[in-house]
Amino acid sequence: MVGLKDISDTYRSHLARVEKSDAGDAFRWLHPLREAAFARFCELGFPSVRDEEWRFTNTAPIANTAFAPAPSGEGVDADQVAPFTLREPGAHRIVFVNGRFVPALSAAGSLPGGVILGGLCDAAREHRLIVEAHLGQYATIENHAFSALNTAMLEDGAFVYVPKGTVVDAPIHLLFLSVADAAPWVAHPRNLIVTETSSQATIVETYAALDGGVQFTNAVTEIVAGENTVIDHYRVGCESTEAFHVGALHLHLRRSSTLTSHSIIFGGALVRNDIHANLAEEDCECTLNGLYMIEGTQHVDNHLVIDHAKPHCRSWEYFKGILDGKSRGVFSGRINVHENAQKTDAKQTNMSLLLSDHAQVQSKPQLEIFADDVKCTHGATIGQLDDEAVFYLRSRGIKREDARSLLTFAFAGENLNKIRVASLRAQLEQHVRIKLSP
C-alpha cells in the first residue's frame, strides 16, 4: 500500500515538471488555482470505498501504481490514426497523443468563421480571455480528488469555441490516442468547450489505445451550452483492457439549451465516468445516454448527477450495461431538484444485462426533490437474456449462440440507435458485433 505522503510526493514532482514546461508558462495566470487544486488533492487523497460516492469502485490500483508523466508519444503516424477517425464527410478532427495536441495528425478542415478548434495550451495564450472566463468554473476541485489532480496538472487538451448564431454542420472529433511505454504513465487531458447563444455543434470525444499497456487517463471536460444552443456530445472509451480511465464531464446548461451527451464505454480495466449536469437556467433539456459493454475483470462506474436549479427544465437519462465474465458495473444516478425548480420533468432509466453468472451490477438511483410541482421517475432493471426469446429464435432455426448475440445486440441497439452521427453509429455497431461474434 502506498501512503498518502508517497502519492503526494510523486505528484508534487509531476507538478514541478508541469510548472517548468511550456504549459506552465502558457497557464501562468492559472498558477494560484493549480496550487489550490494540488493542496486539495493532497488533503483528499485518492478516494476509498469508505467514501459513499466511491463505495463500489476501489481506486487502490490507481493509488498503488507509480505512474510516470505521460511520454511525448512521438512517431505516431497518420496510418496509425486512420482506424480511429470518423468517416463522416467534412468532419473536423484534432488529435492528441498521450494527452498532447499533435497538429500534424489533425485535420480541422474548413470551419465556419469565428469557430476555434485546437489545443487548450495554445488557446491559453491566444484566446486567454475566453479560456480564463470558463476554465475551472464548472469542474469543482472541492470534493473530487481526481478533478483536483487534473486541475493541478493541467497541461493540454481540446479547446472548442462556437460563436453566437453559428452552426457547425459536420461533427468535431477530439481524438485522444495513447501509446504504451515501458513504465505505466498518467495523463490529465483537459477539455473546454464553449458555445455561445443560438449556436449548434456536434462533438465526439474518443479515447483509444494504439496498443496495450498500463496507462491512466484522468480527463476532465467542461462544456458550456450557451442560451438556445443545440449540442450533441459523444464520449467513446476504447482504451486497452489494462488502462485506467477517470473521466469527469461537467455540463453547464444555459437558458433554453438542449444538450445530449452519450457515453459509450468498451475498454479499460477500471473506468469511472462522472457526469455532472447543471441545468442552471430555465427551459433547459439535458439527455444523458450511456452504453457500456465489458467482460473479463473490467470495471465500469457511471456516476451521474443532474442538478435542476431552475424551473421548466427536462432531463432524461438512459443508461445500459452489458456485462460478461467477472466484470463489474456500477450506476449511480442522482437527480437534485432544487427548491424553485418547479415543473421539472426528469426521468432516469438504468438497464443491465448480465451475460454470465459471475458478472455483477450495482444500481443506485437517488432523487432529492425540494420542489413540489415536479415529475420525477426512475427505473432500474438487472436481468439476463430472456430464455423465452432465446427459445423462440432457436425454434426458427437460429443457433443458441447466434440467438444470444442477436438479443444482446438488440439490447445495445436500442441505445446505439440514439446516436445521430451515422458513421459513428456504424462504427460502434460494428464494434459491438465483433465483440459478440464467437
Q: Smallest distance from the beta carbon of 365 to another protein, in angstroms?
A: 22
Assess 391 for contact with another protein (CB under 8 A). yes
Choose which of 68, 108, 393, 426 interacts with another protein (CB under 8 A). 393
Phi-psi region of 346 (alpha: psi -120 to 50; beta: other; left: phi over 0): beta
Q: Which stretch binds another protein (CB under 8 A): 168-176, 233-241, 349-357, 388-396?
A: 388-396
Question: How far apart, in whole angstroms, are the C-alpha atoms of residue 57 and residue 373?
Answer: 35
Residue 426 is a binding residue for another protein (CB under 8 A): no
Cα dihedral sign for 429, 431, 435, 438?
positive
Residue carrying C-alpha cell 488533492: 41
Q: Which is nearer to another protein, 78 or 410 (CB)?
A: 410
- Residue 376 binds to another protein (criterion: CB under 8 A): no
CA dist., res. 118 & res. 102, Å (int): 9
Q: Which of 28, 375, 399, 420 binds another protein (CB under 8 A)?
A: 399
Q: Which residues contact 131 (CB under 8 A, 6 or more apart)?
A: 120, 123, 124, 159, 192
Single out the residue of 406, 423, 426, 429 in contact with another protein (rule: CB under 8 A): 406
32 binds another protein per the rule CB under 8 A: no
Q: Which stretch binds another protein (CB under 8 A): 101-109, 175-183, 329-337, 381-389?
A: 381-389
The verdict on 386 binding another protein (CB under 8 A) reads yes
Q: Which grid coordinates belong to 136?
A: 475551472
* Closer of 370 and 392 to another protein (Cβ): 392
Please state, in angstroms and rounded to a whole number, the distance separating the CA atoms of residues 414 and 255: 30
83 binds another protein (CB under 8 A): no
Shortest Cβ 407–another protein spacing (Å): 7
Q: Which helix (H) or strand (E) holds 305?
A: strand 299-308
Q: How far is it, in rounded angstroms, from Cα 417 to Cα 424?
A: 11
Query: How many residues make contact with another protein (CB under 8 A)?
Result: 22
State how far the Cα of 163 lies from the Cα of 358, in Å rounded to an integer. Answer: 50
Minimal distance in Å, beta carbon 419 to another protein?
15
Report the interface residues with another protein, using CB under 8 A.
386, 388-389, 391-400, 402-403, 406-407, 409-411, 413-414
